[in-house]
Amino acid sequence: MADFDVEEVIAELALHEKVSLVSGIDMWHTYAVPRLGVPSIRMSDGPNGVRGTRFFNGIPAACLPCETALGATFDEELALELGKLLGQECKAKGAHILLGPTINIQRGPLGGRGFESFSEDPVLSGTLAARYCEGVKEEGIIPTPKHFVCNDQEHERMAVNSILTDRALREIYLLPFQIAMQSNPGALMTSYNMVNGTHASESFPLLQDILRKEWGFDGLVMSDWFGVYSVSQALNAGLDIEMPGMSKFRGAALSHAVSSNEVKEHVLDESVRKVLTAVKRSFASSGIPENAPELQRNTPETSALLRRAAAESVVLLKNEGDILPLAPTKKTLVIGPNANIAAYCGGGSASLPAYYTVTPLQGIKNKIGEDKVLFSQGAYGHRDLPLIGDRLRTAAGEVGYTFSVFAESLEENPNRKPVEVVQMTSSNAFLMDYANKNISGTLYYVTMEGIFTPEESGLYDFGLSVAGTGQLFVEDKLVIDNKTKQRGGTAFFGMGTVEERGSVELEAGKNYKVHIDFGTFPTSKLRQGSVVSFGAGGVRFGGCRHLEEKPAIEEAVAAAKAAAAEGTQVVVCVGLNSDWESEGYDRPDMDLPPNTDELVQRVLDVSPDAVIVVQSGTPVTLPWVKNAKALVQAWYGGNEGGNGIADVLFGDVNPSAKLPLTFPTTIEQNPSFLNYRSEGGRVLYGEDIYVGYRYFDKVKQQPLFAFGYGLSYTTFAFTNLKVDEPKAGVVTEQVLTLTVDVTNTGKRDGAEVVQLYVSPPAVNDTLSGIRRPVRELKAFKKVALKAGETKTVTIKANVAQSTSFWDEKREAWQSEAGTYKLTAEGTGADNKLDVPYTVAKTQYWTGLVKNPYA
């Protein structure tokens, strides 16, 4: 146990030890000083599961619904429960620090990591983040809200300068972090980008003035991975630890900086203190030993919680004629690209191998019985061909393929022997953290080999993308050359190539040897823009039966037509997956994959009652939406995604989720449209504070589906909204208490979300003259109600946070005197009540406000 005294240790440490403590020793661990009893602690991604220490051939873990899905639940209790689950998963993986939650803002629909953030709204995001962190902490683990701040796009993420007003920075982008501070998270990760000209990881105003001084944060500040760009500036700004190791900027360079007083030793000591405190605290609170083995804890309780979370996140967008819920007694035809695959999480560092996954098709079969379910593919939705590793067999007949690592190329040594042979099932091998004592550096070679036995005869497509060089052979015949000619793409956080493809005619039941020769990143001449290399590169290969697009759609349409004639229910599952939404790149447009829209429209033409289920982490264009009577938004639902969808479709769960972000009709309609990418090295946050619904309200435009919108299978009514005037006093300590009677006026049990919006006083000459959003979410509460039941719901909001804007002249929040309108909004456009609330006297404040329930 780490019962050392931090100050005594600092007094004993040699300079080189201090310098070593402020950077990682590898991808995931801190430096240990055994002679002084200081152990090493482990960090792990984050945010929707705990992957452990291995990107390469990782150990399965629980995968939660993505954070946008959690945003849709508007459920603080659930966020707390899931935080606890993550804490327990950290213990299984021996991780003292969890790298999450992600609380950047979905400025627009195209963000590659949009799925990883809760919401476009800072209060929803910050409040759920605070509960998530509290849950993680209950297990003695340190959570790490990230990425501080304005990493709201992937395009040139390390190089881009986010340019924005102080007001937008405070009111939209910093606010989720400020609210998350309620949980005193213990760690924080800086972002890659610059904010108004300075990289966040070396910004004194952000890290010292705001985070440390104004908010009083005393936890550990870590860099994002490879997101440090200077020696002295970063340390002087208070970036405590550079991650990962081996360090690029600390080591000898930092010792030199200290010796030359570029960094004063007491400043270094302060960062050492933060690292040691995190080590000591997390050891004591988690009980996790140093370098613990990585285990799985796949329990029925975990599955039950994940299933509830998945179902609670599904948003019912349309239900004309009460088509939903479907009848479990009836036959059901399931169509579409997302039916038979598990789009369970987005791509990048949030991704992890799940304990298991459930596809929507399987979820429906589990619900109503295999014999009642028909399936037609209709179209493929993948961008890259589906991973094929678990459809291969090794020479010994086991599932998977062999991954043989060599220190030399075949040309260098025709008799080379592998330094290691690993049996793998995933054919996505990211070598970010692969290590072997016989390999030094990042240059090495791999041969992958497995046997593929097709179930059907026909043409098969294979695909190969690499960050490195690679060639794919079937029966020793070259099918794909991604070595001699390479084209830059998005694979492996933007380090890699596009997926190159080749096709081969195969016969059912025959064994075919598939093998890939791969050389790591240094073997490739391809270098792209401002992309930084993560480890040794990677290789991804996939394959599937070739699908002729038009006949596949015709087949699905014919099946849907027959279904309509027989009274069979039809469900169409479409959407995106981790190919389309991933860390490392943004989406080029808001569209569904090719052929999807045609498939949906043609099915609706013959089967107008077909239920459409969309999976995505961010909004997509739905050109056929007017013709769909029943529409459901299902995100990436984690392990239990498919069961959660089936629970809602068949009415075991009454949907209660609400959109945590606005769905515009077109990409052009969204306020970040003109400014969503890096141009000339910068991105202008031109929409200012008018992000998402704040913009649509202000310009009086109707999006396709509004923030906070979502239907239920029952109806609710609000009556009796009252506000308790807070006692006079300091504005940061005042709490507004609202009560409203909520009645379930329908025939089914259900849950309602009471959303509290605050509208500012009208701007006039006596007031500040500062324009403000029409209304802003300030609090929310979810309540379960039996059919016919009424409950009085109490909802609390901090007065300071509910009434203030950031006053740029005063550099403070201003709670402006005047009469505000407090509106409680529920399901259904008419379900709204408002009461006035008057702030008698203008007050200015900085710092933190308390959780109003605490």
* Residues with catalytic function: 224
CB of 56 to ligand BGC, least distance (A): 12
How far is Cα 195 from Cα 104, in angstroms, rounded to an integer? 13
The single residue listed with the structure tokens 């005393």 is: 218
Q: Which residues contact 797 (CB under 8 A, 6 or more apart)?
A: 735, 736, 738, 756, 758, 778, 779, 852
Q: How many residues of this chain interact with ligand BGC, rule: CB under 6 A? A: 7
Cβ distance to ligand BGC smaller for residue 13 or 43:
43
Q: Are strands 198-199 and 220-222 parallel, antiparallel or unpaired?
A: unpaired
DSSP state, 504? E
Cβ distance to ligand BGC smaller for residue 225 or 401:
225
Q: Are strands 682-684 and 716-724 parallel, antiparallel or unpaired?
A: unpaired
187 φ/ψ angles, rounded to the nearest 5 degrees: -150, 160
Contact call for residue 46 and ligand BGC (CB under 6 A): yes
Q: Which helix (H) or strand (E) holds 166?
A: helix 166-168
Give the three-class secondary structure for 798: strand
Q: What is the DSSP string of 707-749?
A: TT--B-SS-EEEEEEEEEPPPSS-GGG-EEEEEEEEEE-SSS-
Cβ distance to ligand BGC smaller for residue 381 or 489:
489
Cβ distance to ligand BGC smaller for residue 32 or 187:
187
**Cβ proximity of 488 and 544 under 8 Å:** no
The single residue listed with the structure tokens 């050392």 is: 4
Tell me the C-alpha to C-alpha distance, in Å, between residue 786 and each of 82, 311, 371, 709, 791: 25, 18, 33, 21, 10
Instruction: State which of residues 75, 121, 139, 224 lies at the interface with ligand BGC (CB under 6 A).
Output: 224
What residues pair up with 502 in beta bridges, in sequence order? Answer: 462
CB of 725 to ligand BGC, least distance (A): 43
Q: Which helix (H) or strand (E) holds 5?
A: none
Instruction: State which of residues 74, 148, 225, 492 lies at the interface with ligand BGC (CB under 6 A).
Output: 225
How far is Cα 484 from Cα 481, in angstroms, rounded to an integer? 7
Cβ distance to ligand BGC smaller for residue 275 or 649:
275
Cβ distance to ligand BGC smaller for residue 224 or 579:
224
CB of 225 to ligand BGC, least distance (A): 4
CB of 252 to ligand BGC, least distance (A): 25
**Cβ proximity of 109 and 619 under 8 Å:** yes
CB of 302 to ligand BGC, least distance (A): 22
Contact call for residue 223 and ligand BGC (CB under 6 A): no
How far is Cα 140 from Cα 138, in angstroms, rounded to an integer? 5
Give the three-class secondary structure for 429: strand
* Total Cβ atoms within 10 A of residue 247: 22
Cβ distance to ligand BGC smaller for residue 221 or 742:
221
Amino acid at 480: I
**Cβ proximity of 56 and 21 under 8 Å:** no
Instruction: State which of residues 45, 154, 240, 433 lies at the interface with ligand BGC (CB under 6 A).
Output: 45
* Total Cβ atoms within 10 A of residue 120: 30
CB of 200 to ligand BGC, least distance (A): 12
Amino acid at 34: P
Q: Which residues contact 252 (CB under 8 A, 6 or more apart)?
A: none
Q: Is 754 exposed, middle or buried (0-12, 13-18, 19+ CB in 10 A)?
A: buried
Cβ distance to ligand BGC smaller for residue 222 or 514:
222
CB of 616 to ligand BGC, least distance (A): 20
CB of 151 to ligand BGC, least distance (A): 7
Contact call for residue 307 and ligand BGC (CB under 6 A): no
CB of 349 to ligand BGC, least distance (A): 4
Site for ligand BGC in 332-371 (CB under 6 A): 349
Contact call for residue 146 and ligand BGC (CB under 6 A): yes
Would you say how long the chain is, in residues?
854
How far is Cα 103 from Cα 107, in angstroms, rounded to an integer? 12
Contact call for residue 99 and ligand BGC (CB under 6 A): yes
Measured at CB, which residue is nearest to ligand BGC? 349
Cβ distance to ligand BGC smaller for residue 23 or 656:
23
Chain positions contacting ligand BGC, by CB under 6 A: 45-46, 99, 146, 224-225, 349
